[in-house]
Amino acid sequence: MPHSFMTFGGIAFLFVAVGITAHMLDTGIDNPGPIVILAILAFVFLKVARTYNTAQPGMLDGASARFDRVEQRLSDVQDIVISVDERLARLEVALK
């Protein structure tokens, strides 16, 4: 999936870049708007590509460790709730 996402994103960026370049060649470079748009798109695409490629494995490892910690905490809370329930049951029996 990551490879297909990046391939599709690269192709889409290439089409946009070629379209903007063709527009600039057709109308002239006296308007800096398309150049700014092309620079912003290039920056965003490179930033997303770098983040997507580098953050994916680390995010999975971190998420797995966090799930393990949450599971341990839930297990601890469950033990406490069971203990409190047993104490309340003993108090109910003692009061009757």
Which pLDDT score, from 0 to 100, does residue 1 have? 45
pTM for the whole thing?
0.43
Three-state DSSP at 35 gives helix
Each domain of the chain, given as residue ranges in start order, spans 2-95
Which pLDDT score, from 0 to 100, does residue 61 have? 64
Which pLDDT score, from 0 to 100, does residue 18 have? 82
Q: Cα–Cα–Cα angle for 62, 66, 72, nearest 5°?
A: 150
Q: Please, are residues 36 and 20 in contact by the beta-carbon 8 Å criterion?
A: no
Which pLDDT score, from 0 to 100, does residue 71 have? 87
- Beta strands (DSSP E) in 1-96 are none
Q: What is the mean pLDDT of each run of 10 residues along the chain (96 residues)?
A: 67 80 77 78 78 60 77 87 88 85
Cα separation, 64 vs 41, whole angstroms: 33
